[in-house]
Amino acid sequence: MTRSISLLGATGSIGDSTLALIRSQPDLWRVVALTANCSAEKLARLAREFGAEIAVVGDEGCLDELREHLAGSGIEAAGGAEALCAAAARPADITVAAIVGCAGLAPTMAAIEQGKTVALANKEALVSAGEVMTAKVAAHGTTLLPVDSEHNAIFQCLQGNDLADVRWITLTASGGPLRTRTLAELDAVTPAQAVAHPNWDMGAKISVDSATMFNKGLEFIEAHHLFPVGLDRLRIVVHPQSVIHSMVEYRDGSTLAQLGPSDMRVPIASTLAWPARMDTACKPLDLTSIGELSFFAPDEERFPATRLAREAVHAGGGAPAVLNAANEVAVAAFLAGQIRFTQISAIVAHTLDSYTPPAPRSLDDVLAIDARARARAAAMLEHA
């Protein structure tokens, strides 16, 4: 029996990995919607290859180019923020939410409203919306499967167990490419150095987040919403080899961990096949060639991001959405050469200090907080 699938953010790194898996089982899948921001040529090529029903660019200015590339294919083309949501709302057995940033929130919510299965890579959407998203998932009886490797690992380690028996959930962090740099060295880091991740090949934004440790900060908040064991039961440990993707310790002293290669096809495959398993072409884990696994406590002096995220989620209200929005603005400014690496966390901290909105109660509330926090962070760039 074929299954239908939509892929939001089809042209990115998670999009590539997901489509590689679908390509390996062509008879099993029927592609409904593929979306991108503006990579019209690549999007059209993928839509043709996979026989998608519709291809959508978020940036309406790229729609003409998309139409040209799809001419004669019979595939529908659309553009703009509303078209993204409309495509995400089309019936599909599974939707992979892999847009980067809060830009993916509204389409992800539209997919959740269908009440089928959403495989979530877009962590910024869950961090910003928090309970607004988890309440929507509950209200529509949607199955939310985590794609993020750590959360996918935790999800697997929790199967057959009771959340009430969890003593600790430990998120592992590679520490990123700058793990051993001094503060003075961090100040001089270039965008090229920050995106050169030792273990994972990812989009630019998450690569910078990995270098600042904001990725782990966002993941801490993501874990809090996906696995509500209480904030005092969540912790982070630095594990540079990225072999253990996360672990769960139970009250009897047993710790379950999920291990695997640093290849996003593994967690994505587990969501596509869930609750069954599927083959992947990933290189098997070779523990003897890895030799040793090491673990360190995070250094929040050099990398304040995990502390800022913990404080934001403890503060509650709209603070996580503010943290996420400020980080998105600061990362874009860093990638554009406007600010130094260490100014990213400073801008996030200042934005959090200057704006403490109440808890959002709807998607519109979240988007309003996101927009205001972006404006504040952008104003701070002027003085940075």
Residue 225 found at the interface with ligand NAD (CB under 6 A): no
Binding mask 124-163 for ligand NAD (x = CB under 6 A): x-----------------------x---------------
Nearer to ligand NAD, 176 or 350 (CB): 176
H-helix segments, the chain: 13-23, 40-50, 63-70, 81-88, 105-113, 123-129, 131-140, 149-158, 183-187, 191-195, 204-212, 214-226, 265-273, 287-290, 305-315, 319-335, 343-354, 363-383
Q: Site size for ligand NAD, by CB under 6 A? A: 26
Q: Is 14 labelled as part of a ligand binding site?
A: yes
Separation between Cα atoms, residue 70 and residue 47, nearest integer Å: 8
Work out how close the CB of 151 gets to ligand NAD at its nearest, in angstroms, rounded to a whole number. 9
174 close to 210: Cβ distance less than 8 angstroms? yes
Total interface residues for Mg ion by CB under 5 A: 3
Q: Which range binds ligand NAD by CB under 6 A, 13-21, 85-93, 186-194, 292-300?
A: 13-21
Between the CA of residue 229 and those of 45, 67, 135, 224, 240, what are the distances in Å? 44, 48, 17, 7, 26
Is 212 annotated to bind a ligand? Reply is no
Is residue 79 exposed (0-12), middle (13-18) or buried (19+ Cβ within 10 Å)? buried
Asked if 194 interacts with ligand NAD (CB under 6 A), we say no
Task: State the nearest-atom distance from the C-beta of 339 to ligand NAD, in Å.
Answer: 20
Site string for Mg ion, 114-153 (x = CB under 5 A): ----------------------------------xxx---
* Binding status of residue 209 toward Mg ion by CB under 5 A: no
**CA–CA separation, 94 vs 33, rounded Å?**
11
* Residue of 32, 83, 85, 123 that binds ligand NAD (CB under 6 A): 123
- Our finding on whether 13 is near ligand NAD (CB under 6 A) is yes
370 binds Mg ion (CB under 5 A): no
Q: Is 150 annotated as a binding residue?
A: yes
Q: Nearer to ligand NAD by C-beta: 92 or 249?
A: 92
Read off the amino acid at residue 231: L
User: What residue 260 binds from Mg ion, ligand NAD, none (CB within 5 to 8 A, per partner kind)?
Assistant: none
Q: Are residues 245 and 152 in contact, defined by beta-carbon separation less than 8 angstroms?
A: yes
- Using CB atoms within 10 Å of the CB of residue 71, give its burial: 0 to 12 exposed, 13 to 18 middle, 19+ buried: exposed
DSSP code of residue 225: H
Should residue 12 be labelled a site residue for ligand NAD when binding is judged by CB under 6 A?
Answer: yes
Decide whether 84 or 223 has the Cβ nearer to Mg ion.
223
Report the residue from 49, 193, 200, 384 that binds ligand NAD according to the rule CB under 6 A.
200
Q: Does 263 bind Mg ion (CB under 5 A)?
A: no
How big is the CA angle at 151 (ends 123 and 52), to the nearest 5 degrees? 60
Q: Buried (b) or exposed (e) across 268-281, using 16+ Cβ within 10 A? A: bbbbbebeeeeebe
Q: Which is nearer to ligand NAD, 100 or 249 (CB)?
A: 100
242 contact choice in Mg ion, ligand NAD, none (CB below 5 to 8 Å, kind-dependent): none
Q: Is 242 in the site for ligand NAD (CB under 6 A)?
A: no
Q: Choose one: 6-14, 22-30, 137-145, 243-251; the region binding ligand NAD (CB under 6 A).
A: 6-14
Using CB under 6 A as the binding rule, the residues of this chain from 37 to 76 that contact ligand NAD are 37, 39, 58
**Beta strand pairing status for 244-250 and 166-173?**
antiparallel
Structure tokens at 314: 């403890």
- In whole angstroms, the minimum distance from the beta carbon of 95 to ligand NAD comes to 14
Task: Answer for the pair 17, 265: CB distance below 8 angstroms, yes or no.
Answer: yes
Classified as helix, coil or strand, 43 is helix
Q: Which of 9, 175, 240, 260 binds ligand NAD (CB under 6 A)?
A: 9
37 annotated as ligand-binding = no
Binding site for ligand NAD (CB under 6 A): 9-15, 36-37, 39, 58, 98-100, 103, 121-124, 148, 200, 202-203, 205-206, 264
**Which residues fall in the annotated binding site for NADPH?**
11-14, 122, 124, 203
**Which residues fall in the annotated binding site for Mn(2+)?**
148, 150, 219
